[in-house]
Homo-oligomer: A and B are copies of this chain.
Amino acid sequence: MAPIVTDFSAFPAVGGVRVAAAAAGIRRNAGADLALVELVPGSATAAVFTRNAFCAAPVTVAREHLAAAAPRAWLVNAGNANAGTGAAGLAAARESCAAAAAALGCRVEEVLPFSTGVIGEDLPVDRLAAAIPGLAASLSPGGWAAAAEAIRTTDTVAKGAWRSLELDGGTVTVAGIAKGSGMIRPDMATMLAFLATDAAVPAADLQAMLRRAVDASFNRITVDGDTSTNDACVLAATGAAGIHPRGGDLERLERAVAEVCRDLALRIVADGEGATRLVTVVVEGGRDEAECEAVAFTIAHSPLVKTAVFAGDPNWGRILAAVGRAGLGDLDVERVEIFLDDVCVARGGGRAPGYREADGAAVMARDAFTIRVVLGRGSAAATVWTCDLSYDYVRINAEYRT
């Protein structure tokens, strides 16, 4: 399938947020590689980070700064992950924050750093700092598109998503940009996502809202099962719209945040390295969501399933075997059903009666389709998204750096 192209000409401004991008010469190829997001004073910021024990220097510094102050700015560079760089990397991350703080007239703790790119090389902090005054001078409400371009690494397209919604008191906007192509490449690194809304949301509510949205979106996609040292997703609520959603309105805002996260997540997986098909894996009828998720990820991570998807081969035995090894206690295989879109391929422990291979092949020939597994032992469900495993995945990951 083709990657999902974002029409940035329609990307909305978010009250209280100004954005800019610049070329700082960090990335080997030319072009913008540095982005700055400025938040109006009083904004709340929620954040989730990688669970990788080897987290990058900017992740460590961002956590420290979040604990010390409400952020006024996010500084993002591509081309260098500042990971595996030890004490020098921490110092470089702090210096880059200090440069941004000086240009914006805020405290260093009010700047969060983010990096994506090659691991194990020193961040060229002098070049980064030199670009910051010009970057700060060019901040504007319409800078999101340029920032989405600047943070790309192996992404073939820039990625953005947004929602506007009418709440009691007026219209609010939720918008965000993201980058990520492998999920995740520890050397080119990283999924990063930056979201903002002009609604006013207390920090604790905002953090809970983001955590749930990320669990249902970015944590439900997989290209290759790897987890970067630099993953981060942040969400600011500036309050610039003067609206403080509560009750049902807060739930509607959370739904919009979740939708923007899911839109961005699907753009990442559709731009997965070497991806030719987008696969939605739905597991239903489980005892709880956790076991549904375990089955869904076992299918989505299986190289055998992913190569069959690449080939357009309705090889249901591979899906069945993945269900069987997902670790579910006392699974009654006689009750399991497997569908490719609306075609039932397996039932009662084997091939479904009346199933014709041509019907399965017709589904697998599509650019995007759903593998649906019914476990038949409860009412819980979970959905994850993945792509196929192609020659190009091997090429991209074998040839990078060489």
Contact = CB atoms under 8 A, between A and B. Distances in A.
A304 B186 contact: yes
B350 A89 contact: yes
A139 to B, nearest CB: 33
Interface in A109-131: 118-120
Interface string A202-228: 000000000000000000000011111
Contact of A390 (B86, B118, B394): B394
A180 to B, nearest CB: 14
Interface in A246-300: none
A91 B182 CA distance: 46
A321 interface: yes
B349 A394 contact: no
Interface in A312-364: 313, 315-318, 320-325, 328, 331, 333, 346, 348-351
Interface stretch (A33-41, A46-54, A168-176, A237-245): A46-54
B397 A303 contact: yes
Contacts of A225: 301-303
A185 B304 contact: yes
A310 interface: yes
Interface string A368-402: 00000000000000000000011101110111111
Interface residues of A, number: 62
Counting every copy of the chain, the complex holds: 2
Contact of A84 (B224, B311, B317, B391): B317
Contact of A120 (B118, B227, B351): B351
A56 to B, nearest CB: 10
B226 A325 contact: yes
A251 to B, nearest CB: 33
A390 B320 CA distance: 25
A52 B321 contact: yes
Given A226-B304, A307-B394, A391-B395, 17 more contacts: A51-B325, A53-B323, A53-B325, A54-B333, A54-B349, A84-B320, A84-B349, A89-B350, A186-B321, A225-B301, A225-B303, A303-B389, A303-B397, A304-B397, A308-B397, A308-B398, A310-B394
Nearest to A119: B317
B401 A315 contact: yes
24 contacts: A53-B324, A53-B328, A54-B320, A54-B349, A84-B349, A84-B351, A118-B317, A119-B317, A186-B318, A187-B304, A226-B304, A226-B325, A227-B324, A228-B321, A304-B397, A307-B393, A307-B397, A308-B397, A310-B394, A311-B397, A311-B402, A313-B401, A391-B394, A393-B394
A399 B346 CA distance: 22
A156 interface: no
A19 interface: no
A119 B85 contact: no
Interface of A: 51-55, 83-86, 89, 118-120, 182, 185-187, 224-229, 301-304, 307-308, 310-311, 313, 315-318, 320-325, 328, 331, 333, 346, 348-351, 389-391, 393-395, 397-402
Contact of A86 (B86, B349, B393, B399): B349
A402 B400 CA distance: 30
A311 B187 contact: no
